């Protein structure tokens, strides 16, 4: 049985969300949300975040999804190191915090108010 962090998060997600919330589109929006919350917690100004969005979207290049996932992981590890945070421990603590039945209803309720995407084509 796979007990990796990723598989344990998948199990939590299956328990917590309906199939319509586990879609790639919704997970992409939640990823953006969490990334923005991380940079906000580090006191990065909104204007810099918007400038970075424009910088990325103004380039004529789209990376492959697998490469970009790897780059995100490497970048998060490097950032965590710079901040003096053990990335693995932070992930484990977050999963413990949210993987409780009483948290499920709050998370589900919060999900209803968040932006949604229409179906989009993936760049694989």
pLDDT digits (tens, 9 = 90+) for 85-101: 999 999 999 999 888 77
Residues in the chain: 124
pLDDT band for position 103 (cuts 50, 70, 90)? confident
pLDDT digits (tens, 9 = 90+) for 70-90: 999 999 999 999 999 999 999
pTM: 0.79
**pLDDT of the residue at 60:** 86
pLDDT digits (tens, 9 = 90+) for 27-77: 888 899 999 999 999 999 999 999 999 999 999 888 999 999 999 999 999
Mean pLDDT for the chain overall? 86
């Amino acid at each position: 049985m796979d007990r990796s962090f990723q598989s344990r998060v998948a199990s939590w997600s299956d328990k917590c969300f309906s199939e319509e919330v586990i879609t790639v589109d919704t997970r992409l929006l939640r990823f953006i949300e969490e990334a923005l919350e991380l940079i906000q917690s580090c006191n990065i100004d909104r204007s810099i975040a918007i400038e970075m969005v424009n910088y990325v979207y103004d380039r004529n290049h789209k990376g492959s999804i697998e490469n970009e996932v790897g780059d995100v992981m490497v970048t998060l590890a490097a950032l965590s190191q710079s901040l003096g945070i053990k990335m693995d421990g932070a992930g484990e603590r977050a999963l413990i915090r949210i993987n409780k039945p009483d948290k499920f209803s709050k998370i589900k309720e919060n999900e209803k108010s968040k932006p949604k995407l229409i179906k989009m084509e993936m760049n694989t």
